[in-house]
Structures are given as structure tokens and as C-alpha cells.
Amino acid sequence: MRQTILSGAVAGLGLLILPAAPAAAQILRFGAATAVVSENTSSVSVPVSITNPGAAASTVQVVLSPTLNTATAGADFTFAAPQTLTFPAGSATSQTLVLPLTDDALAEGAEYFTLRLQNPTNATLGAGGAEMLVYLKDNDTAAPTQSRSLTLSYMGSYQNGAAGTNSAEIVAHDPITRRLYVANSVGGKLDILSFTNPASPTPLASINMLPYGNINSVAVRNGIVACAIENANPQLDGSVVLFDQNGIFLKQVTVGALPDMITFSPDGRFILTANEGEPKSDYTLDPEGSVSVLNFAGGVAGLTQASVTTVGFGGYNGQAAQLRADGVRLYGGTAAAPSSVAQDLEPEYVAVSADSRLAYITLQENNAVATLDLSQSTPQWVSLRGLGTQDHSQPGFSLDASDQTPDVLLANWPIRGMRQPDALAAFEVAGQRYLLTANEGDAREYSALTEITRLGDAAYVLDPAAFPNAALLKNAQVLGRLNVTTKTGDTDGDGDIDQIHAFGGRSFSILNATTGALVHDSGDLLERLTSTDATFGTIFNASNTTGTPVRKNRSDDKGPEPEGVTTGTLRDTVYAFVAMERIGGMAVFNVNDPAQPRLVQYVNNRSLVNGSGDQGPEGIVFISPADSPTGQPLLVLANEVSSTVAIYGVQLRGTVTASGQLRPATALHLYPNPAQGGRVRLSRPVSGTLCDVMGRPVRTLRQVESFETAGLAPGVYVLRTTDNGRAKLVVQ
């Protein structure tokens, strides 16, 4: 027998009657979390939708959020007061709010404003749908002006084997032998190229580095090739291996763990390595970072293990709290076994002052630069300074922060970008020394310590007081895809994030080398330059991986990732060259006024449609006219991913200014000075004329790095070089 059970007591029958199912709640939400509109559009339409409309009308207020706005109501758009939208009873039709826009004539980045739904009647607000961000794209900003006072002309690229099985990370040039030496870490080789014809380098030899460990970097001076070699067990001490110009082994000495970069001092007395000292992935072994200084005054014959001084950071071990307060990032190790300061600091790159007295070292993961005094019998640390952060909320420091928006949206956000430079260069202007840094950024990613996460991840909790629009910020088309660190940003120690710290500055910086003060930061210039480039704007912020470039797929990470820098002087102008690892190519700047560099040119040789051309630039070498095999200044760029070495000719236009005859191409120093007989060493190889105090020539020099003073009468002499360098010599 079929039985029906009803709810409620039915009089006289005693039957149970169930209540009718409640009607579904009316839900109101914005039609999308974001909208993008050009400012020269007359208005923007903002839809609000309703689901499950009820028997009674529903209403909701739309208000302008008091936070998360860079566009200004009344100037950029019109929104005078909260507005109420009404949804008729039973109607599922969306309501649309239309806001008029103002097409101003200001050149500015993308701006935005945030709308919020509140005070609904006969409805509730949908989760995650109560806020909407509207981007306003500027239509007045022009591409940065390139002066082209210097022009780089692509001459060609040499490929040292198939990409993926070989690499070209660092390149070194020797004017004496007219050769290039290429660090090929993927292939485990030192590649040697003839550079007699710069337009067409030819291979001479390829030296297997695996018997020594593996090559990370290379430097060369007067036919002596020095290679930085990591141990087969990277946590153990590495080595410096010396070869002759043909790749014949000469000598090997031990240095610190994981030597990542190597250089000669300008006077040739020292060879230095930056020993990164990275830990094992599980942190069971964490070697100390260090810098090794090889006394090379006696040349190859005089070099022994006793010539090597490895300088660690043990003296800073008791200063962790103060260093953190000064902006040095210290966070390595595990909760059970945190790294010491000496273990945490990881030297990345070394540059040496023109007088060879000071070395400057970047500590990339630590966002710091250290200074080492080489003039002491034992090298001593002079300073260790944090480099601070970019404030991306400020004008001139915008960024394109999402790979999920089809438009380039260089906007200001409440983000701090940690500079974290890779390469640096030391240069001088008007007697003052400066440092140029490539603010690439880097994260530690090990099995026992991974500091990188997406801002939108649920575990990355934003402080509600600092970020009242946290849910909107976490949207993928806002900041949700941005890679950030979990190790810093909790300024009050309560477990949530008070400052958002992203990796890299997407910029280059110029620092006062003596004080460490920031003289200039390029801010958003590199992203503005590449996004507006007539050719390469189509692959803006593309990765350097082989295959078809994907526009903006690095916007959520570190953007263009400036990685390599160098400087060079031509006529009366100091130029800075900045290579961008991801989109590729390099930008050139006039830095005669270090506080206000001027953009000269951007060049790139990457394919727009496939994996051909030069990809992943890293090492840069500037070759002066005196050192060039053709007498023309050249620029050589090592491209890691494509495994190519690109050569550019440098052409100048315009006239030499009056000051141009007084400024040397690179600072020139003589040792010893005063001289008391014997040989005088030069800080760089030169050609020129040695004159007496009356200006009469007494010696002609051709590509020398030293000369004999025997036969010179006591007195004052002036060395004038072919590249406008000058140095005074006193003979006693």
C-alpha cells in the first residue's frame, strides 16, 4: 500500500504535513571583479547581477571604496555620491551603473578605482562579488625618448652549440690575444673563440670543465684565463683554475663554496671570486658565503694555495638583529636549525674600484651590498648595507603585476619590491665613485625552505587593517598571481602580512659607493620602455624560454629581470649598459649625471614568433676602441638560454665637448707611484705616450700593462693614452 506522509497536524486526521521548501535567497554581485577601459572612452558601464529574484523588489547601494584607488573622482571619473540600484520583483535582469570618464591630457600610468556594494534589501551580497576594480588606461603616455647619441648596430651572433645542451652565461675578452672566452655551464665547457673578426667569431677550442667540477664564470687578462669552478659536491669548497690562452691547464687553487663569479682587479694584482655558499636542498649542509682573494702579483708562477685568502662573514654573527633592522634579509635555515649570519649571506657578484683598493659584492638573496678593503695585508670588510625596497605605490614606480590581464597595466600598488641585485659595476664621474646595480630579484626555493608564494594563496594572509580590500587584491586580474615572499613583511610579528614584499626592483639603481646612499633608481622605466617599443612591445614581459614568446607571462614574477650591467666611457660620456634577462636585449644610458641618467637606446635581437635569436642575456663586455681588433668600440653580450654570443658595433654622433678631452675612458692608476726604479704597473692595458713635465714625448707605449722606468731622469711625467686617459707619474 502507498502511504503519503504530510507535515503538520491535520485536524481530525492526525497526519503530519512538511513545510514547503524555502525560496532561494536573492544574491547580488558585480558582473566581474575587474574592468579595463581607456580614459578616452566617454563612460564605463558597471553591471550588477541578481540571481533568484524574489516576489519583492531588491535594492543595493554602489559606493566608491575609500581605499584602493589611484584614480580621482571628479578628475578622472564622475561619482559624486552613493547610488542605489533597484531590481524589480521577479526580474532577473542585471542593472547597469554608467560612470562618465574624463579624458585628461596627462601622461600617466594606468589608474584604477574600486566600487563596493552595500546595504542590500531583500537580498544578500554574493561572496567575492561585492567589490569591483575598474582600470583606466592612459592614452597620453608616449614611449620614453631615446637620444641615440650612441647607436648599437647588431653585427652578428655566434652559437656555441645547441641551446638546451649548451649555454653562454659569461663572456670575457682578451685584447692581447684577440679572443673571447665563454663560460658554458650547461655543456660543462670553456669555449674559446677567435675575435680577430668581430663580425664573425670562430671557434678555436672547447675545454672540458667536468674533471675540475663545473664552470660558473670566466675572466681573462693578458692571455691568462681564470675560471670559477664549483665542486662536484656544490656545498664543498670550489676552485679557481687557470689556463693559458689556448686552454692549456696552468694551475688550480681552492676557494670558498660555490664560486659564482670571478674577476681580475684593474691593476692585475688580485683575482677575486664571489662564493655563494648555497645550502643543500634539505639544509643538512649550509656552507658559509665568502669572497676569495687571490694575490696574483707574482703571476701564475707565484700563485700557491698560500696566495688565497677566503674572507667569510663570521664577524657579523652576533649582529643579526641590527642587520635586519638595517634592511639585510636574514632568514635561511630551518626552524630547528636557523642559519648563522655567515651561512645566510650569499655573495653573487664582485666589482672592483678603478684603483683596485676596494671590492663591492652583491648579496642577492639578502638584498645587500658589502664592501671589502683590498689594501690591507688581510682583506677586511668595510661595510654591509641593505638596499631597501621600491615603493610601487609611488609615482614613477608602477608595475604590470598580473599575467592574467590582456592589457599592459603599469599601475601603482601597495607593494614593496626588494631590489636584490645580481650584477653590479663600479664607475667614476667627476672624482666620485658610484655603483650600478641590476635589480633582478631572486627567491630561495629548497625542499626545506621555499619562501615564494602567490599573493592570492589562502595561506598568505594580509593584515585586514593594512589591506581592507584584501579579497579584491587576491583576484588573479589584480595582484593574486604576483609572486611574493613569505619570509618578510610581517612587521609586527602577529602572523599576517603588513607589507607585501615582491622579488626584484624591475629596475637598475645607482648608489654612492662611499656612503651607500641611493642616487637614482630607474623605477618603472624599463617596463615602460619595453611595453611601448614599436617592435618588442608585442612580447612585453615574455619569458626567455625557447618556443613562441608569450606576452606578459613574467608580469606576475619579476617582469623584465635586469640581470647584467657594465659601463664604458667614450669621448666625454660614461655609458651604462643594462641587459634584461626575460624579454631580452639591453638598454643604454648616459650616466654623466648619475642622479639623472638619460636613455640612449634599446636594442634586442630576439625573434617575435619562435625561439630563434638571442635569448636570456646575462654577461656584458664593453670593448673600448683601444682594445678593439677593429678600432671601433664594441659590445659583447652572452645569452644563456639561446647559447649565443651577440656582437654589437658602437657608433657615436655629435662632437666632443670641451670637457671631453679631460675625462679618461676609464680611470687610470700607476703603481708604485712615486717610482724608485724598476717597473711601473698600470691599472689597465693602454696605448699612449709618456711625456716629461714640458710635454715632450719620452716613451711610446702600445697595449702594455707595465713599463720600465730605468733611464728616466727623476721628475714628473704624464702618461696620455689614446682613449683620452691621463695619469701623473713621479720618478724619484
Q: What are the phi and psi torsion angles at 484 (to 5°)?
A: -135, 165
Residue 21 C-beta-side C-alpha neighbours within 13 Å = 3
The whole-number pLDDT of residue 704 equals: 78
The whole-number pLDDT of residue 6 equals: 37
Q: Which of 168, 179, 175, 172 has its CA nearest to residue 245?
A: 179
Burial of 711 (0-12, 13-18, 19+ CB in 10 A): exposed
Q: Which of 387, 381, 382, 370 has its CA nearest to residue 327?
A: 387
The whole-number pLDDT of residue 302 equals: 97
The whole-number pLDDT of residue 718 equals: 85
Cell numbers describing residue 156: 652578428
> Tell me: the pLDDT tens digits for 186-199?
999 999 999 999 99
The whole-number pLDDT of residue 4 equals: 39
The whole-number pLDDT of residue 711 equals: 76
- Name every residue whose Cβ is closer than 8 Å to that of residue 130 and which is 6 or more positions away in sequence: 29, 30, 116, 117, 118
**Considering just the CA atoms, what is the radius of gyration of the chain in Å?**
31
Q: Using DSSP bridges, classify how beta strands 380-386 and 389-391 pair: parallel, antiparallel or unpaired.
A: unpaired
The whole-number pLDDT of residue 689 equals: 83
With contact defined as beta carbons under 8 Å apart, do 125 and 28 qualify?
yes
Query: Residue with C-alpha cell 688581510?
Result: 378
> What single DSSP character describes residue 299?
H
Task: Return the ∠ at Cα 583 (arms to 580 and 586), rounded to 5°.
Answer: 40
With contact defined as beta carbons under 8 Å apart, do 173 and 221 qualify?
no
Residue ranges of the chain with pLDDT lower than 50?
1-22, 655-665
Query: Residue with C-alpha cell 696620455?
Result: 720
What's the pTM value of the predicted model, to 2 decimals?
Answer: 0.88
Q: Which of 264, 265, 258, 266 has its CA nearest to residue 242?
A: 264
The span from the CA of 244 to the CA of 267, in Å, is: 19
Instruction: Give domain 27-137's CATH architecture.
Output: Sandwich (2.60)
> Tell me: the pLDDT tens digits for 61-93?
999 999 999 999 999 999 989 999 999 999 999
- Taking domain 150-442+503-652, whether its CATH number is 3.40.50.360 is answered by no
Largest CA distance in the chain: 136
The whole-number pLDDT of residue 9 equals: 39
Measured from the Cβ of residue 595, the count of other Cβ atoms closer than 10 Å reads 10
The whole-number pLDDT of residue 369 equals: 98
3-state helix, strand, coil split of the chain in percent (to 5) is 5, 45, 50
Q: Domain locations in the chain? A: 27-137, 150-442+503-652, 670-731
The span from the CA of 718 to the CA of 700, in Å, is: 12
